[in-house]
């Protein structure tokens, strides 16, 4: 069962300087627990932007119903 999350995040890669804060919806294959690491969302975002995982910093997230 997949789950969708509304996210706000910052890309720290040099090509995004000056316009590095974004928001959008991320879909995970399984829902996250409240105590889960946010690394799953950051990994999806990094993959979508073709960046390294450490180039994405999740600012906030909330599950969409």
Check which CATH number belongs to the domain holding 51 and give it. 3.10.20
Give the confidence band of 58 by pLDDT, cuts at 50, 70, 90: very high
DSSP state of 16: G
Supply the range of the domain harboring residue 30: 3-63
CA distance linking residue 22 with residue 9, whole number of Å: 5
pLDDT in tens, 24-49: 999 888 887 765 678 888 988 999 88
* 3-class DSSP state of 39: helix
> For the chain, how many structural domains are there in total?
1
Whole-prediction pTM: 0.79
Matching residue, tokens 């995970």: 28
For the cut 80, the answer to whether the pLDDT of residue 5 exceeds it is yes
Give whole-number Cα distances, 64 to 11, 15, 18, 56, in Å: 22, 30, 29, 21
């Amino acid at each position: 069962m997949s789950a969708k999350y509304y996210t706000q995040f910052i890309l720290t890669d040099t090509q995004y300087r000056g316009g590095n804060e974004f928001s959008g919806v991320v879909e995970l294959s399984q829902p996250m627990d409240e105590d889960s690491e946010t690394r799953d969302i950051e990994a999806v975002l990094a993959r979508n932007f073709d960046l390294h995982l450490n180039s994405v910093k999740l600012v906030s997230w909330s599950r969409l119903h």
